[in-house]
Structure 1
Amino acid sequence: MIVAVTMNPSVDISYSLNRFELDDVNRVETVRKTAGGKGLNVARVISQMKEDVMSTGVLGGTVGDYIVQQLNESNVRNDFLRIESDSRNCIAILHAGMQTEILESGPTLSEQEGIAFLEKFEGLIIHASLVTISGSLPKGLPTDYYCEMVEISHKKGKRVIVDTSGESLKQVLMQKKKPFAIKPNTAELSQLLGFEVEAEIMDLKQTLNHKIFAGIEWIVVSMGSRGAFVKHGADYYRVTIPEINAINPVGAGDATVAGFAVALNRNQTVDNVLKTAMTTGMLNTIEARTGYINKDKFKQFFNFVKVEKMY
């Protein structure tokens, strides 16, 4: 079983308008509501890949109830810590080829709620084979909160994939106990290291040799339509993908994490791990829904992904 963690989930609400009028009434006919958050996207795609998954994190209020309802309807097992505050809504207004977002910051967790989730997490991962931790932390939790989750996972002998950014990622990498895998992009690497990281092979090889990454088994640097650059142990790989008709790139990184986790959980070869990760990312991109893939197209796209070992 894979345990997929989302600490700051949301209901993502999408409004489609021909014109968006400021200081006026805007009536919407097409509304899409989705249980959102990076870890929820990961969990849904893992489930669609027919792998056993448990979604967890913190939820509160009627928004939290809606998220659980949506996960249940998608047959994604879930076990969240219920908190007093309401979970958040994130609104996207689609108008004239543009997207205006209104994002609630979400609940502020108490110290007691933070401790309670760590206790819950420790119990949930007893029967897990792999853990994914995705996205931002809610207010109230310290920036090193994910470090405690990685530490607990190490004590239980569980591999952890961490997909976060900013101070949370930096804190995780500064600890002695490192995650098994991380999935930054070049912008997140630049923010982390304090200098511009270019999406070029020699630059990336040098960057990933930085001492802050010592002890991490897998580093998957996502590069959008250019695929990925990967460090696995002492080896480097360039992964290229075909040109595709992108419909909705939102959540592609989460789908990539899902495919990566599934292939690792199945003890597949390095080539197949990387090809599976890229394939699920692409399959998410060609669908209108976020955190959704059409598995019937998996083999077709999988065969077009190329993995090249770099020397």
Structure 2
Amino acid sequence: MILTVTMNPSIDISYPLERFVLDDVNRVDQVTKTAGGKGLNVTRVLHELGAEVTATGVLGGFHGAYLASQLDQEQITHDFAMIKEETRNSIAVLHESNQTEILEAGPVVSEAEQQEFLKKYRALLQQAELVTISGSLAKGLPADFYQTLVSLASEQQVKVLVDTSGESLRQVLLGAQKPYLIKPNLDELRALLGENLSLERLAEMQATLNQEVFAGIEWLVVSLGKDGALVKHQENFYRVEIPTIEVVNPVGSGDSTIAGLAYGLSQGHDSELVMKEGMAAGMANTMERKTGHVEPKNFQQLIEEIKVKKV
């Protein structure tokens, strides 16, 4: 079973408008509300690919109950710890080829609630072969909380894939126990290291990924948008080149990439196929209007079109 962790989930609300008028009434005919947060995008894609997956994290209030009901409707297994404060809303206004987002900060998780979640997490680890940790931390959680989750998984010999940024990522890298895989994009890597990295200076990027801070991490996947990815697996480097496709909605493509990587790893696929599956899932998501969604037939077709080259 793959266990996905979402510590600041949301109800993702989408308002499509032909034109957005500031300081006036804007009426929408179609509204979509989905169980959101980066980890739940990962969950949904894994479910669509046929993986055995369980979602965990924290949920609270009426919004949390609604989010759980959405997962039930999609027949997605979940086991969340309950908190007192309300799960957040994340609103996207889609207008004139633009996307304006209004993101609530979300609930504060108390110390007692943190301990209840960790108790649940330890129990779920007994059934897991892989863990994915995605997105931001809810307020009240310490900056090194993800490092705690990595350490607990390591004690059970469970591999962890981490997709976060900023201080949360830095704390994960500073820990004694390392994740199995991390997936920063190029901007996140630049911000983490304070270096102006560029794919045009490939040798410099390779040297950067060989720094001591990344020691002990089996997979380093640097996503590069339309340029594919630069991957370090063990001591080897690879360029993953992707075909040009028509993009409908890029939101959630990074989450889908993590789902594809987790899927491939859980199936015991060879490293080259795992890289292709990660990129194919991310690309398949961009072809769909719904965030965190792939059509398996598109996923399989894209795998055939992706090229992996050792560098």
Structure 1 segment 264-303 matched on structure 2, within 5 A: 264-303=265-304
Secondary structure of the 2:102 match is: strand
Corresponding residue for 1:21?
21
Please list the CA deviations of residues 175-197 of structure 1 after superposition, one character each: whole Å capped at 9, or x if unmatched: 11110000001111111111212
1:155 CA drift (Å): 0.4
Corresponding residue for 1:258?
259
**TM-score, normalized by length of structure 1?**
0.98
Question: Take 2:271 and 2:308, find their aligned partners in 1: how far apart are those partners?
Answer: 9
Secondary structure of the 1:248 match is: coil
Corresponding residue for 1:214?
215
Question: Take 2:243 and 2:33, find their aligned partners in 1: how far apart are those partners?
Answer: 31
Corresponding residue for 2:56?
56
Q: What percent identity do the matched residue pairs reach? A: 52
Does residue 1:8 correspond to 2:8, yes or no? yes
Runs of 4+ in 1 over 3 A off after TM superposition: none
Q: How many corresponding residue pairs?
A: 310
Secondary structure of the 1:173 match is: helix
1:77 CA drift (Å): 0.3
Q: Name stretches of at least 5 consecutive residues in structure 1 with no aligned partner.
A: none
Corresponding residue for 1:159?
159
Question: Take 1:239 and 1:181, find their aligned partners in 2: how far apart are those partners?
Answer: 16
Amino acid at match of 1:58: V
1:127 CA drift (Å): 0.9
Secondary structure of the 1:179 match is: coil
Question: Take 2:75 and 2:254, find their aligned partners in 1: how far apart are those partners?
Answer: 22
Question: Take 1:299 and 1:57, find their aligned partners in 2: how far apart are those partners?
Answer: 30
Please list the CA deviations of residues 108-163 of structure 1 after superposition, one character each: whole Å capped at 9, or x if unmatched: 11111111111110111101010000000000011000111001000011000000
1:97 CA drift (Å): 2.1
Does residue 1:105 correspond to 2:105, yes or no? yes
Secondary structure of the 1:127 match is: coil
Question: Take 1:48 and 1:224, find their aligned partners in 2: how far apart are those partners?
Answer: 23
1:242 CA drift (Å): 0.3
Q: Which range moved further: 167-176 or 187-196?
A: 187-196
1:297 CA drift (Å): 2.2
1:69 CA drift (Å): 1.1
1:203 CA drift (Å): 2.5
Question: Take 1:119 and 1:5, find their aligned partners in 2: how far apart are those partners?
Answer: 14
Corresponding residue for 1:86?
86
1:199 CA drift (Å): 2.4
Question: Take 2:20 and 2:308, find their aligned partners in 1: how far apart are those partners?
Answer: 44
1:232 CA drift (Å): 0.5
1:210 CA drift (Å): 1.3
Corresponding residue for 2:168?
168
Question: Take 2:250 and 2:26, find their aligned partners in 1: how far apart are those partners?
Answer: 26
Corresponding residue for 1:75?
75
Does residue 1:225 correspond to 2:226, yes or no? yes
Q: Which range moved further: 39-48 or 198-207?
A: 198-207
Corresponding residue for 1:243?
244
CA-based RMSD of the aligned residues comes to 0.9
Secondary structure of the 2:43 match is: helix
Secondary structure of the 1:23 match is: coil
Q: Name stretches of at least 5 consecutive residues in structure 2 with no aligned partner.
A: none
**TM-score, normalized by length of structure 2?**
0.98
Amino acid at match of 1:177: Q
